[in-house]
Structure 1
Amino acid sequence: MATLMMPLEDNNTPDYGDFVGSDDECEVEDLAEPLNRYFEGLYYPICIGDVLNERYRIEHKLGHGGYSTVWMAYDFQMKNNVALKIHVPGSEGENELKLQNEIILRVQNTSNLLTYENFFYLRDHDKQMHLVLVFPVWGPSLGSCFLMQMSIVARISAAKQLLKALESLHDAGIVHRGKSIPPRYKFSYMLIYSIDLNNRNIMWGIRSFEKSNTDTIYEYLGRPQKIKLYLPSGIQAEIVKPVTVSEDLLRDTICLGDFGHAINVGTSVTPKFHAPFEYCAPELLHDKDLGLASDVWSYMCLFLELFLGVRLFYRNASSSVISDMVELLGPLPKHWKGDYKGFGVSDDSWYDQSRKASDRLDVLIRRVRPDVGDTEKGHILSIMSKGFCYLPESRISVKQLQQDPSFRAVMEIYKQ
């Protein structure tokens, strides 16, 4: 375990939050990480007020995923707040560290990419090593925000920034999504998520708390609400309700993060497909190698989500998502028939070239965004026709999309 100590020169008196009563326990547990991750020795046990690596004091909970927990901490050395991403042992953390180093070396513009500032390791009571990546503090993910409450100008600005971030990666020959699922998790469906370009690895900017003490931070983010957790090893942890960031704290900047499954162009992985399936390119569900074009499909899903304020494909099962695609975009390539490798049973009608799309894209836009005029709608339909090409070799590239007249026209309409 990491040594817990409090530097004497620090004048920022720690505040350890509030233990909740029995009436609030369910709410905290529902919003916090699954308890079994601690009992299985996957999550590193944390309490508010702990000091890690003799440098970082835990101040609040930011979130969690299948492979990590994320905490806000005060850095005594730099005298500012940071985010600590504490990885599960043997997960994708080492791959993320490796790709992060490559990104820092190879990518020219990382302004919209979430790259680490420092890293260290924590040893738990079972002598397992947990990699900890230190990041700047960013706000909530796109997936945790209510998009319709945000201005369309901010959402389109986010789409433009995301495309620039993706362009920076692609110029360096890096595909954002790539690595297959670690063997220890391969048969646990609930853990197969957030491993591609999707709305949970895009973070909104948040106002700086650099000059704020703990009390001020809690005024904005709320005091940590927590429950004591006693592990069989005798180690104590806390289940902490993640922060809720109000809309007035958000900035119009975004960053792309979570590079634990990124790969270099030309790298082959197994399995090809991934979840969440709503953002998964259709070729990956048909056992085709992924590439830069696979990222473009995911980006188009996100672009439409930002433009419309709702998700274009919203099913959890891969077969249902394919059905939605066919309903909206028409039949899949005939030569893909028999290649489907996703969850569920394939449907021969997906490849029937006489089948017509039953849901019209222009009707969808009119229903969700009645404020959009015919000219703007034409631009959106043009963008979708180029980005939602089933065949990856026919799909528009990130660089081409940057220069596309319709894309540039939409960006100009919502220019800040």
Structure 2
Amino acid sequence: MRQHWAIDRKYTGRSVDERFYPKANANLGPHSIFGTYTTLAAKNSLCCYGAASTMALHRVVCRHSSRAWQRLSCSVSVPARPQPPPTLAPARPFSSLMTRLGLARRPRSAPRTMPTTGFDAIAHEQLVEEEDMPEYRAEHFYPVRLGEFFHDRFQTVAKLGYGSSSTIWLARDLQDHQYVALKVYIHNSLQHRELPFYEHLDNVLPSRHPGAKNIRKLLGSFQVAGPHGTHMVLVLQVSQMSIRDMDTVFMNGRGFDEIFVKGAIKELLRGLDFLHSKVQCVHTDVHPGNLLLGADDDSIFQQLEEAEFKNPVPRKQVGDRTIYLSRLMKPKVGPLLLSDFGEARLGPGPHAGDIMPIMYRAPETLLHIQWSYAVDIWSVGLTAWDLLQGRTLFSARKDDGSFSDGVHLAELIAALGPPPQQLLDRHRARALKYWDEQGNWGDFVPIPTEKTLEATETKLNENRTLFLSFIRRALTWDPDARPTARELLRDPWLVI
């Protein structure tokens, strides 16, 4: 599941209610968020950790300029709605550090009673959060309530975000006295590759590899019985927002400065080197939305919890369920975490089948060739481009807005030159759909010759040549010729 923003439009003349979403005017350059590299200055700004479409955030921030939004909320008091406790079926034993070491724990933390008054009620006809996702069906989602207990251990205190297959919640671990993130899947979700990945990861950890700290940790899992089925719940290391969301909100989609991007890419490559060399896993879904800002301490989450008592988040009552708006948080320095292993593949492969977000797809996937670790390296190149330039390198879209592999391949040729013949020979039937027998590109999709790397790059001066060389290395047509994550870490652009 991709990490996204979860803000909602509510008021005329503003993109968001500033009581909950103050203006995002952080200064992100020339320093970075990744401790060793830089410091994030986010004065008077709040960020949202989320899991909805970034396009949804863009609509929230921008659509108020095209029409005014009427106020859709009123102050109400709603009595607490009693519900029986959920039926729990353990899916995976918890293995916190204290439990593994057999250390005596402090007494359990006392639960808190969450506010049931003082919030704004969102109008019934307004679609918010997960309701606004394509193919949303309420009965697929577990109706999480703020203050609810899970597994006789976790109490939800804030909603962090949502996606097409899950919602994510900040919870207090009353047993181990820490904050965690609960990822509550829809009851019919098939996206449970994440749990097998983490079970495999348990066989590798602990590891002294420096990239191990850049992988988001799973603390445990369990199942909860909802009104319409059983839901898998992952207990994850809690984190702040995604790097994509930082760009969207703080930088207005313009991208970050070079130092910031280099810091992020270095940490990403360390994480991928650990993933590839030690865990032997292909992530397949590397992009800025799955790169999270971690946290070095719990203070930011304590502030988030207290905010719910001082200013309860707006919510919407729909029958017997409540749809909450996700909370924003003020960002702090933390490590980069590679997240979302729902599409990960174990083992080096070769693997087959469609993977990767459409605009991020590597040539071997477009040509229906078997793939391995090198697809993640391709994604690193596109991630570096996105973070620095503030836009994707390839659109893969026809004039009518629909996606097209032919258009995508034509864009690759414009930016990188033609592919080597030996690559096309690995799947002749597929290649002949776009090239003739001599390897000449067909004329049904014109090559946008103006979209070379040199013409498209617009932000760098001094290190421009080194950056473009890095991009060309990561975006090598032939996956067998692409550098590994460890090799790319030594690229001149990253080490100067």
TM-score range, shorter chain: 0.7 to 0.9
Aligned partner of 1:72 among 170, 174, 187: 170
Distance 1:407 1:63 in 2: 33
Task: State yes or no: 1:129 paired with 2:230.
Answer: yes
Contact 1:296 1:387 in 2 (8 A): yes
Contact 1:156 1:307 in 2 (8 A): no
1:121 Cα deviation after fit: 0.9
Alignment correspondent of 2:57: none
TM-score by length of structure 1 reads: 0.77
Aligned partner of 1:237 among 307, 310, 321: 321
Alignment correspondent of 1:181: none
Alignment correspondent of 2:21: none
Distance 1:215 1:266 in 2: 42
Aligned partner of 2:244 among 132, 139, 143: 143
1:98 Cα deviation after fit: 1.3
| 1:308-365 deviation line (CA, Å, top 9, x unaligned) | 3332224462424333222222233442686549xxx964499536979532322322
Task: State yes or no: 1:212 paired with 2:298.
Answer: no
Distance 1:61 1:392 in 2: 40
The code of the aligned residue for 2:128 comes to E
Task: State yes or no: 1:359 paired with 2:477.
Answer: no
Aligned partner of 1:111 among 207, 210, 213: 213
The code of the aligned residue for 1:139 comes to Q
Q: How many residues align?
A: 370
Cα distance change, pair 398–2 in 1 and its aligned pair in 2 (3 A): farther
Alignment correspondent of 1:100: 198
Distance 2:354 2:131 in 1: 28
Contact 1:174 1:265 in 2 (8 A): yes
SS where residue 120 of structure 1 aligns?
strand
Contact 2:162 2:168 in 1 (8 A): yes
Distance 1:266 1:97 in 2: 19
Distance 2:302 2:172 in 1: 10
Cα distance change, pair 90–326 in 1 and its aligned pair in 2 (3 A): same
Report 1:253-264 matches (<5 A). Answer: 253-264=335-346
SS where residue 114 of structure 1 aligns?
coil
Percent identical among aligned pairs is: 21
1:197 Cα deviation after fit: 1.5
The code of the aligned residue for 1:360 comes to T
Alignment correspondent of 2:128: 29
Contact 1:331 1:357 in 2 (8 A): no
The code of the aligned residue for 2:290 comes to N
The code of the aligned residue for 2:410 comes to S
Distance 2:134 2:418 in 1: 43
Alignment correspondent of 1:393: 480
Distance 1:29 1:303 in 2: 32
| 1:275-302 deviation line (CA, Å, top 9, x unaligned) | 4212111111111112011111011111
The code of the aligned residue for 1:10 comes to A
Task: State yes or no: 1:169 paired with 2:169.
Answer: no
Contact 1:29 1:239 in 2 (8 A): yes
Cα distance change, pair 251–151 in 1 and its aligned pair in 2 (3 A): farther
Distance 1:213 1:287 in 2: 48
Aligned partner of 1:378 among 446, 460, 465: 465
Distance 1:321 1:239 in 2: 38
Unaligned runs of 5+ in 2: 1-82, 88-106, 398-402
1:99 Cα deviation after fit: 0.8
| 1:194-224 deviation line (CA, Å, top 9, x unaligned) | xx1122211113474458366634489x742
Alignment correspondent of 2:383: 302
| 1:149-191 deviation line (CA, Å, top 9, x unaligned) | 755433321111111000100112533335xxxxxxxxxxxxx
Distance 2:108 2:280 in 1: 44
Cα distance change, pair 151–48 in 1 and its aligned pair in 2 (3 A): farther
TM-score by length of structure 2 reads: 0.66
| 1:95-144 deviation line (CA, Å, top 9, x unaligned) | 21111121232252420100111211101234x32111111221112222
SS where residue 289 of structure 1 aligns?
coil
Report 1:178-327 matches (<5 A). Answer: 196-206=285-295, 208-210=297-299, 212=302, 216-218=306-308, 223-230=312-319, 236-246=320-330, 249-267=331-349, 269=351, 272-315=353-396, 317-319=403-405, 320-327=407-414
Structure having the higher helix fraction is: 1
The code of the aligned residue for 1:47 comes to R
Cα distance change, pair 352–267 in 1 and its aligned pair in 2 (3 A): same
Cα distance change, pair 310–219 in 1 and its aligned pair in 2 (3 A): farther
Unaligned runs of 5+ in 1: 179-195, 231-235, 410-416
The code of the aligned residue for 1:294 comes to V
Contact 2:381 2:475 in 1 (8 A): yes
Contact 2:130 2:162 in 1 (8 A): no
Aligned partner of 2:149 among 23, 28, 51: 51
Alignment correspondent of 1:83: 181
The code of the aligned residue for 2:243 comes to L
Cα distance change, pair 173–212 in 1 and its aligned pair in 2 (3 A): closer
Contact 1:58 1:72 in 2 (8 A): yes
Cα distance change, pair 339–243 in 1 and its aligned pair in 2 (3 A): farther
Cα distance change, pair 395–278 in 1 and its aligned pair in 2 (3 A): same
